[in-house]
């Protein structure tokens, strides 16, 4: 339904690795056909086909990482999936492209606007590069 530009983002956590490319994409799925955990399993399969190996190590380099940030207005809390994504409000590399595709976005769990969330994150946008401390 919509996709942001691809942004080049400095690594978080482990800094001594190549920069990441990040993008936010909005898709439409039927919740009956694609409940959240089933969609997540499909995304894991796609990642594996594209060469991702999950070691369990945080901030590791990887060829692809597909996250479910939101699922309509739903709140999901399961061992495998938390929606809204628990870290998205702290990540400029999520918020900047999300604002691009939905400048009026409000978080479904508390009504916070995208601008309010971005105002709480220390970041700098330079063209299509996102720097975050």
What gap in Å lies between CA 36 and CA 113, rounded to an integer? 24
- Given the candidates 3.30.56.10, 3.40.50.300, 3.30.70.560, 2.30.42.10, the CATH classification of the domain at 2-132 is 3.30.70.560
- Catalytically active residues, by annotation: 52, 62, 65, 67
What gap in Å lies between CA 70 and CA 88, rounded to an integer? 10
Q: Where are the domains of the chain?
A: 2-132
The model carries a pTM of: 0.92
Nearest to 89 by CA among 59, 116, 60: 116
Full pLDDT tens readout for the chain, 133 residues: 999 999 999 888 888 889 999 999 999 999 999 999 999 999 999 999 999 998 878 778 889 999 999 999 999 999 999 999 999 999 999 999 999 999 999 999 899 999 999 999 999 999 999 999 7
């Amino acid at each position: 339904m919509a996709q942001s530009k691809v942004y080049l983002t400095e690594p978080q956590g482990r800094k001594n690795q190549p920069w990441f490319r990040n993008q936010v994409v909005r898709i439409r799925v039927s919740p009956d056909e694609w409940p959240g955990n089933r969609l997540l399993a499909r995304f894991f399969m796609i990642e594996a086909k594209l060469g991702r190996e999950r070691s369990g190590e945080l901030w590791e380099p990887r060829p692809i990482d597909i996250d479910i940030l939101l699922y309509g207005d739903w709140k999901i809390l399961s061992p495998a999936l938390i929606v809204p994504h628990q870290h998205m409000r702290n990540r400029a590399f999520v918020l900047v492209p999300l604002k691009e595709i939905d400048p009026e976005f409000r978080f479904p769990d508390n009504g916070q606007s995208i601008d309010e969330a971005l105002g709480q994150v220390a970041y700098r946008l330079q063209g299509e590069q996102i720097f975050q401390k």
